[in-house]
A = this chain, B = another copy of it.
Amino acid sequence: MKRSWTDSVRPESPGPIRLQGWLHHYRQLARVGFLLIRDAAGIAQIVTDDHALMQKLAALPHEAVLEIEGEVAVQTQAPRGAEVRLRQLSVIAANGDPPLELYRPVMREQLSAKLDHAALSLRHPRRRGTARLAALATEGFRRHLQSQRFVEVHTPKIVGTATEGGANVFRLDYFGRDAFLAQSPQFYKQIMVGALERVFEVGPVFRAEPHDTPRHLNEYTSLDVEMGFIESHRDVMAVLGSVMSEILAAMSTFEADSQFVGNWPTVPNQIPIVHFEDVRRRFGGLEPDLSPAEERQLGTWALDKYNSAFLFVEGYPLAKRPFYTHADPDRPGYSRGFDLIFKGTELVTGGQRLHRYKDYVVALQERQLAVDSFSGYLEAFKYGMPPHGGFAIGLERLLWRLLDLPNIREASLFPRDMTRLEP
């Protein structure tokens, strides 16, 4: 008999079935045993009142790998309204009982235990559900961009020049020379605007930031976009709004293994926009950036005033934005850079970039950066580059905020932080 998946266990498809999967949990009453079997598709309930089978099942550890055959039958109290009456059971692999209780709806273990035992904790419906949601998010991201002629690219992660000035960059030995890990694909995606006009990348970025907080990772997945022929950063913001809608639409197709929270905000047709100058007026102070506390307050304000979990802040002071940021020609000192605040946290950074070679030379000199060390990048602007801009979404940060995970490390399969390199 051909193998079926657990989501074939449905009242409308009664009859014989063969399943393979993990022993998620086994519970035995006096005369009947209930086995939950877990596979790629989800979890199904298997029942038996056969004494020999019950004995065999009771002796098995959690996470044993099983193959079963049986009959699908209607059972309103089982997942999807059906269960399998067990006929045959064989054990593909079994060892001891694992050190984590993966069958509980919510794992009770500390975060550090979950991360130390990632090979096991990722099997938990919530952890593997988060992984599937991450895949759906990137699927939605790609789908929208591909429909708008964006081309996916892969740019190098080993680079000869520290991307944005030198701080917080990992250094490596490259055949006896110094090289660095890319902090972002920024330079490359801009170069590719010259070649393909509209590009995106899904890939790792590396930040040697010495922060040990629930919101930082030292390696994460960046969803990067860059596009040419824009009027201003507002065109980029419009694409970002559509991208976010499609990401959330894709994620909402997720069918939870179990009681996974799958209820999230919608993206308004017009995400509200405030200018940084107005934000500063509201909060007072002179800082050219927003503190996490200010971002939280803005999140609450946007929810109250606009009923929106999303808020654009545009026009950040040039001083706090990278050298390639385009100035706002109408407001001296301010830029065409923006952030997207989601639930009170910066989720996306973007903006219009400089596109004229001579503007780059001035910008680099103002920051006392050597023009020469950026020559491979600057060549793109020397020979015809249109006005362009883009943004970068932190995938783990999106999942962390969307699913209200207590720590961003739970949004990464194998997080890297200042002390964690394993597994």
Q: Are A379 and B117 in contact (CB under 8 A)?
A: yes
A260: interface (CB < 8 Å):
no
Q: Which residues of B have CB within 8 Å of A120? A: 194, 379-380, 383
Whether A400 is near chain B, meaning CB under 8 Å from some CB there, is no
A171 to B221, CA, bound (A): 21
Query: B residues within 8 A CB of A160?
Result: 421-422
A395 to B155, CA, bound (A): 13
Asked whether any CB of chain B lies closer than 8 Å to the CB of A234, the reply is: no
CB-defined contacts of A118 to chain B, threshold 8 Å: 191, 376
> Does A357 count as interface, using CB distance less than 8 angstroms?
yes
A138 contacts partner chain B, Cβ-Cβ < 8 Å: yes
Closest to A373 in B: B422
Of A26-34, A68-76, A87-95, the one contacting chain B is: A87-95
Cα A210 to Cα B173 in complex, Å, equals 13
Docked-complex contact B196 and A40, CB < 8 angstroms: yes
Q: Which of A158, A195, A356 has the most CB of B within 10 A?
A: A195
- A20 within 8 Å of B (CB atoms): yes
A210 to B64, CA, bound (A): 44
Known: A120-B380, A179-B421; 7 extra A-B contacts, CB below 8 A, are A65-B386, A92-B386, A96-B383, A98-B382, A119-B376, A159-B421, A170-B173
Q: Can you name 23 A-B residue pairings with CB atoms under 8 Å? A: A5-B149, A20-B229, A40-B149, A64-B384, A93-B356, A95-B382, A96-B383, A98-B384, A120-B383, A134-B153, A134-B154, A138-B152, A153-B413, A156-B413, A156-B414, A156-B416, A158-B206, A158-B218, A170-B174, A174-B421, A175-B210, A375-B423, A377-B423
